[in-house]
Amino acid sequence: MVAPLKVGIAGLGTVGAEVVRLIENEGKALSARAGRSVRVVAVTARSQAKKRSLDLRGIAWVKDPVALATSEDIDCFVELMGGAGEPALSAVEAALKSGKSVVTANKALIAKHGIRLAQAAEKHGGALNFEAAVGAAIPVIKTLREGLAATGINRVYGILNGTCNYILTRMEQEGLSFAECLKDAQRLGYAEANPSFDVDGHDTAQKLAILASLAFGTKVAQSAVYVEGISSISPEDLRAASDLGYRVKLLGVAVKTAKGIEQRVHPTMVPKSSSIAQVMGVTNAVTIDGEGIPPITLVGPGAGGAATASAVVADIADVARGVRVNPFGRPVERLRATEKAPMERHEGGYYIRLMARDLAGTAATIATHLAEQKISIESIVQRHANGADVGKSAGKGSQVPVLLITYATHEDAVYRALAAVQRDKVISGRPQVIRIEKN
Ligand code: NAP
Ligand code: HSE
């Protein structure tokens, strides 16, 4: 009989607690599938005294995560503490250097130190599995790394942050404030320990950098990702998007272009009729455009303890089976450096919201500056000023929202045109600009 796989878990929070429960509750099915039973033999967390609704009887508590990672009593180290720094980095590296396999859900760690850790895994023979780091329960890492090993990838994009999609969905559908929605996302265990990683787009950027590496055979480079979060999106933008036939989503997009690989994370207007616009709440969706095959879209729960534990335990099952794949799909020495495409040359349509002076000539000034940059307008709407009689301007000094949708153009042209409009003092405040993705 094969000996059980002995697992040590560092981190017993939202994800770690569910991993312990899942291994306990699904032990028989897991052992049938993996051909070997899996036992949690040791754990650690910040505080041993903390009340946890977990039965940890018979499981050793090891105070120091690095000591747990290198303990002779475990075969596989599961890191669920989070963060790209300590103690996660030292613990994972120490486990790999002692020849153990590692499973982690930590995208921050993999995006920042993935290559160094993959080298350690290669050198010492352990596995480094991180399926839960992107899309929680969605098996997107395996799909890119193994399922599509024979397919060239041109683009991978999607909704990669459950917290942001949950916030945008509830703001749009229920008219709730950003702050209220974020609080609920935290209560439900979706948000990171520091939720600014979610709402400022960094969590999506880390996930996108990992997907881009797997898709294009490049070294993970979070610094190559252009990042904008959702905190500047107002209920007014969501209403305007809806009126114009769009919905706002935080997308991560990695695409091969003639100028290199474009990696970008930003709020995006997508047509309401598109499939990505139907993805609501904490659900994530990833579309992969491969050569010679129609796009593949994977949809599923993108955050939360149970969803994430599902992928963590699947990775543990692979370790139990003795499956070991190069962490980024090929040996580290075969991964190329990322050639970053400049964001200024990004080409696409744009939504622009301006607060414009409600006087004759304003629209003409705006249109002229857009035309100077060869930007063609698909639609323009001037909202009625609050307090003005229908059919009349609200008077000197009043401001009205103007909403524009452009046809495809370059990013730098849009910003040059808006700078010229600002210089002419026909608008107040900063223009709101949201990129549009039509397919
Ligand atoms: P969490 O609820 O904040 O739990 C973190 C756990 O790590 C806690 O048990 C904490 O101990 C422990 N910990 C933190 N610092 C430690 C230290 N210095 N030494 C020892 N233990 C320490 O976080 P989580 O939501 O479970 O996330 C864990 C990881 O999974 C992160 O990398 C996260 O990005 C990733 N992830 C999370 C989700 C999700 O939906 N939550 C989804 C996908 C991936 P105490 O309990 O004693 O405080
Ligand atoms: N905070 C992350 C999210 C957890 O909301 O998507 C899943 O990685």
Spatial distance between the Cα atoms of 260 and 435, rounded to a whole number of angstroms: 20
> Is the distance from the beta carbon of residue 162 to the nearest atom of ligand 2 less than 6 Å?
yes
Going along the chain from its start, the domains and CATH numbers come out as: 5-137+307-333 (3.40.50.720), 140-300 (3.30.360.10), 344-436 (3.30.70.260)
Contacts for 297 with CB less than 8 Å, ≥ 6 apart = 158, 275, 285, 286, 287, 288
* Closest ligand 1 atom to Cα of 304: 40
Q: What length does the chain have?
A: 439
Q: Give the DSSP H or E segment for 236.
A: helix 235-243
Choose the residue to mutate in 15, 80, 109, 192 for probing ligand 2, maximizing ligand atoms within 8 Å of C-beta: 192
**From 100, 112, 142, 207, the catalytic residue:** 207
pLDDT of residue 382: 83
Measured in Å, residue 11 CA sits from the centre of ligand 1 at 5
The best mutation among 138, 308, 315 to test binding of ligand 1, ranked by most ligand atoms within 8 Å of the C-beta, falls on 308
Q: Among this protein's residues, is 207 annotated catalytic? A: yes
Best residue for ligand 1 mutational test, from 62, 81, 130 (most atoms within 8 Å of Cβ): 81
Q: Which residues contact 363 (CB under 8 A, 6 or more apart)?
A: 356, 380, 382, 402
- For residue 260, which phi and psi values (nearest 5 degrees)? 130, -160
Residue 208 CA to ligand 2 center (angstroms) comes to: 13
- CB of 98 within 8 A of CB of 71? no
Does the beta carbon of 200 sit less than 6 angstroms from any atom of ligand 2?
Answer: no
Residue 44 CB less than 6 A away from ligand 1: yes
Report the separation in Å between the CA atom of 279 and the middle of ligand 1, taken as the mean of its atom positions: 26
What does pTM read for this prediction? 0.96
Task: Say which ligand is closest to the CA of 67.
Answer: 1
Q: What is the pLDDT of residue 386?
A: 57
Atom in ligand 2 nearest the alpha carbon of residue 192: 1
pLDDT along the chain (439 residues), means of 10: 94 98 96 96 97 95 98 98 98 98 98 98 98 98 97 97 98 94 97 96 98 97 96 92 95 94 97 95 97 96 97 98 97 94 94 92 94 96 62 66 95 97 94 91
- Which tokens in the block code for residue 15? 């994800």
- Decide if 376 contacts 409 (C-beta within 8 A): yes
Number of C-beta neighbours around residue 335 at 10 A: 21
Answer yes or no: is the C-beta of 301 below 6 A from any ligand 1 atom. no
Integer CA distances (angstroms), 67 to 5, 11, 128, 141, 338, in order:
18, 14, 19, 29, 35
Q: Of all atoms in ligand 1, which is nearest to the CA of residue 47?
A: 47
